[in-house]
Amino acid sequence: MLKRQKEDTFLVFADTFLSRVVGMAFWRKHCAKMPISEMATISDEAFTLLLLENYWDQWSTKNIDEYKSEVTIDEATNQKKKRKATWGKFTSGAWGSRRFGGWSKEGLVRFNQLYSQVEQDRKKENAAEVEETYRLKCVNNKSKKRKRATHDNDFNLKIDNLQALLRRQI
């Protein structure tokens, strides 16, 4: 899905999102030694794509400052109020234990579609080459002194490409 369309976008997806689903400690320890397909299962990759699709609208339209605290100030009344929870495309606002953890039937169907797409994507000719590119990037990054992460225009462009790809998948 992502690997066969835009290599740079897939690498940002893996580095920024997939690594969080797999676990950052594990990812950092193994990214220079193992290909992505050995660090993350097909389910991990499909679930990450589902999470992005589920919450993209909320993430892309929300003011970052809203997420810094549980309480916001109502500008009209100048009173504090608790921040409302937002729900995704495939999740509901129901609280408590649920059989499928809050995912709708459409969300489960979408996960299965994404799983099949990721499975096919991993079989593509360039999949191993893209993963090797990422592994070499990790080797190169490990050899450099640790620096604070910065987001530049290239990163923003790659995120925009990821958003466009997700919208085409819907």
> Which residue range is the domain that position 25 belongs to?
7-59+75-169
Helix, strand, coil % over all residues of the chain, rounded to 5: 60, 5, 35
Q: Is residue 65 part of a domain?
A: no
Q: What is the mean pLDDT of residues 31-55?
A: 93
Higher pLDDT, 55 or 20: 20
Predicted confidence (pLDDT) per residue in 78-132, tens digit: 776 665 556 788 886 655 555 555 788 899 999 999 999 999 999 988 888 889 9
Residues 16, 112: Cα–Cα separation, whole Å: 23
Q: Is residue 25 part of a domain?
A: yes
Predicted confidence (pLDDT) per residue in 121-143, tens digit: 999 888 888 899 899 988 888 76
Domains held by the chain: number: 1
Residues above pLDDT 90, as percent of the chain = 32
